[in-house]
A and B are shown apart, each in its own frame.
Chain A
């Protein structure tokens, strides 16, 4: 995805000199596009009550009415304007995604940092727990829990948040473990610094960018799971989210009546939001990965310098 040339210069700058900057990340087209998409959806969610053309609770046209000049995206099974629903639906989907992600990242980062920093039995214990959570099929457990507790938005948030942290914990642990072995951490420790000083001054700032990338990527999974749970009828049935919009449409046979407009707007909104998050998160993560900077198997080869037209330096 990145357009920068793959470069391996045996004698050039040391690999340690590399520091990704926000500006550097945003100079990548993918990252910028991703950021713009996410910003667009967030803005819509914030201002949706003021730009919705119709009420989202009252019928303003016929059942499954096709898109028209008055109703750009048609209407749902209850005759509610689809554009208004989709504009509003992002709000809860995004809140659920964001809150669940924050819970997950909070748990994951804490476990990852403790595990990677202290190592030994702390590490073994925490990673064993993580391994259990990793093999339990999360959505199935979510279904079981949501089914037992009953459908509700807060249950969905808690369940997603409490089950989704394993990947983050593993990633952060690996990162912290390698930071822990870094000489400068050892040096600061030998200076007499306490664990808290090291963790807050030297570990967390280092994993910060990675954590940001991971958060953005985790949001995609959280939103995915929210729509999946909503689709299975385990979310709050009265809330308007992209997940419930699709669920309603499917439930009321929008498919067999060919009312694609009841499905496509919400589906594409989810898809574009997730795409934006993915592009942004992936670009940051790639920029942080030094192993992607070098390639020994490029499709392009070195060139011979043409003998003419290069100025005095050429010969």
Chain B
């Protein structure tokens, strides 16, 4: 392995917004990476760590406000030497790129084939019939039939589009492929396929690959070496095995700890329920829901009911007080629709929903309103779930005002403060006056949770509560939910696409596929003794953060090391110590 590097970053620095009167932001700080032909390199970091900017610099695709120093060597020659002029000739011919959102990375009004042929055309690789043949070959290389080249991007599924993107990237036989979060928007099983494809191509074509991702497990399974970026700097670099087994930097260790391992199921089912006499908090029986949409004009005129295929087809589950149930499934499996039905936001087509022994199926909006105090929802995207014009105080107080709880402003404020402290935003006074844009993602999610629990609900519905958050703050939010379950005895129904999260926090797991629950049981059992084929396939497609998973068979020592730490972030546990709920 003494080959010369094909691509090397030497002391690369990038600043944004530098003006004579403004030093700007230093977003990439002295990055050094050397990549050998055929090597797969992972660049790991959270949003804002500068990882995308780093690879964009290698393509010369930085915005005009960027200032760059250092060198990017392609086969020993500095391609940044003369700015745009010296990078441009290497784009796509030597260095190609796969972008994050394959949905918008294609021109929507041209066929996929046209867009691949264009790459061949502008680089004088092939034209006419030869180009057509080559496009077919490229598509077949990534598992798409040549005939599909006449299709438009919107006619492809997400996974197909990303594979077509890879085919386009390979059009001019580049030496280096840069992949920027190539699988972020994809389902686990599709993600697995796309990653396997990338690895296979890199091996077959001796292609050097930089995989930019926030997911350590993806890197562990698909790369030789990796670098961890934090605040624009590479804090640690080495073989994936070294990073995993002998992390040097605290941040690396923290990242691995925050990446849950699906097989390290946290909790055994708790001891027999003491309150088995009372009806369960939530009982869903044979629920059927079709895709929610308002009635069309024609249906109103003809007095028809909207006809739509069932998205949720006959599911049954229960959630008890102090219990967390995870509903796991891929996008389109109907899990969100099911939750909307439980919340009373969507009419069901059949089945029953019982809340605290009361049948709430088919209640109108007006009858639902008082019941909303008992059942609250936490949403996926903390950036989107808060009104940007509302201060934290107003957001958390809004439910109180809607339900006319608390007679005076003073009382209301006290409840707001109580809720904020409960979710770990202490001292609450510091957060009350802030706007959402003055908070971090994790803090926003905590504010959203505070706005839900200020009504003291009994049942919390959580729709992918951490999937939009950075890896390192996920654990904190999940711990918070766990505490609410344990201390406040709330029942929690959590939707997630991530079996690992479910395995680590839920008492029971229900796996949903195409509108049905294919498997349901205690977390431990679903993970370790799955019965449904679908569950097995899902488990097999989850990347393992351990680069050498065979080792685990020898002894469980490794995975036990990475059980989610029970220690909470300081400010959270601090707030809990003198808190009675």
Contact = CB atoms under 8 A, between A and B. Distances in A.
A pairs with B: yes
Most buried by B among A122, A128, A202, A301: A301
A301 B83 contact: yes
Given A121-B295, A183-B380, A11 B27 contact: yes
A118 B47 contact: no
Interface string A291-305: 000000010111111
B345 interface: yes
Interface in A116-132: 118-125, 128
Contacts of A120: 293-296
Interface stretch (A45-53, A189-197, A247-255): A189-197
Given A6-B63, A313-B23, A124 B296 contact: yes
Contact of B17 (A7, A186, A206, A314): A7
A315 interface: yes
B202 interface: no
B66 A302 contact: yes
A188 B83 contact: no
Interface in B1-23: 13, 15-18, 23
Given A303-B83, A304-B69, A304-B83, A11 B52 contact: yes
Given A124-B296, A187-B379, A206 B389 contact: yes
A125 B297 CA distance: 7
Nearest to B382: A183
Contact of A9 (B65, B296, B345, B399): B65
Contacts of B389: 19, 205-206
Nearest to B344: A190
A7 B63 contact: yes
Q: Which 3 A-B pairs have the closest CB atoms?
A: A120-B294, A192-B372, A300-B64
B299 A302 contact: no
A165 to B, nearest CB: 21
B62 A305 contact: no
Nearest to B400: A191
A238 interface: no
Interface residues of B, number: 64
A10 interface: yes
B372 A190 contact: yes
Interface residues of A, number: 49
Contacts of B69: 304-305, 307, 314-315
A23 interface: no
Nearest to B379: A183
A188 B345 CA distance: 12
Contact of A301 (B48, B64, B388): B64
Contact of B67 (A121, A124, A128, A303): A303
Interface in A1-17: 5-12, 14, 16-17
Most buried by B among A128, A191, A194: A191
A8 B63 CA distance: 6
A313 B68 contact: no
Contacts of B398: 188, 191, 193, 201
Interface string B369-401: 110110011011101111111000000001100
A10 B56 contact: yes
Given A16-B383, A16-B388, A206-B389, 15 more contacts: A9-B17, A9-B65, A19-B388, A120-B294, A124-B296, A125-B297, A183-B384, A187-B377, A188-B387, A191-B455, A192-B368, A300-B64, A301-B60, A301-B84, A302-B66
A7 B448 contact: no
Interface in B40-89: 47-53, 56, 60, 62-69, 80, 83-84
Contacts of A188: 387, 398, 402
B263 to A, nearest CB: 33
Contact of A121 (B13, B84, B296, B384): B296
B343 interface: yes
Nearest to B386: A184
Contacts of B49: 11
Given A16-B384, A313-B23, A186 B379 contact: yes
B27 A187 contact: no
Contacts of B345: 186, 189-190
Contacts of B300: 121
A302 B58 CA distance: 12
Contact of B53 (A11, A186, A193): A11
A19 B437 contact: yes
A121 B294 contact: yes
Contacts of B18: 305
Nearest to A193: B402
Nearest to A298: B64
Given A16-B388, A121-B300, A205-B389, A192 B373 contact: yes
22 contacts: A5-B64, A6-B63, A7-B16, A7-B17, A7-B63, A7-B65, A11-B47, A16-B388, A19-B435, A19-B437, A120-B293, A120-B294, A121-B296, A183-B384, A188-B398, A190-B377, A191-B455, A302-B62, A303-B66, A303-B68, A313-B26, A315-B69
Contacts of A14: 383
A303 to B, nearest CB: 5
A69 interface: no
Most buried by B among A6, A118, A186, A303: A303
B133 interface: no
Interface string B422-435: 00000000000001
Contacts of A124: 296-297
Nearest to A191: B399
Contacts of A301: 60, 64, 83-84
A26 B402 CA distance: 36
A313 B380 CA distance: 40
Contacts of A302: 60, 62-68, 83-84
Nearest to A14: B383
B402 to A, nearest CB: 5
A141 to B, nearest CB: 26
A218 to B, nearest CB: 24
Contacts of A186: 345, 379
Given A8-B63, A184-B385, A205-B389, A121 B299 contact: yes
B200 interface: no
Nearest to B375: A190
Given A119-B294, A305-B15, A187 B385 contact: yes
Nearest to B85: A301
B196 interface: no
Interface in A179-237: 182-184, 186-194, 197, 201-202, 205-206
A9 B383 contact: no
A12 B83 contact: no
A314 B23 CA distance: 10
Given A5-B65, A121-B294, A301-B84, A10 B52 contact: yes
Contact of B48 (A12, A123, A187, A201): A12
A12 B68 contact: no
Contact of B384 (A19, A119, A184): A184
Contacts of A122: 294
A9 B435 CA distance: 23
B581 interface: no
A35 B218 CA distance: 54
A42 B252 CA distance: 64
Nearest to A187: B385
Nearest to A202: B387
Most buried by A among B26, B373, B399: B399
Contacts of B388: 16-17, 19
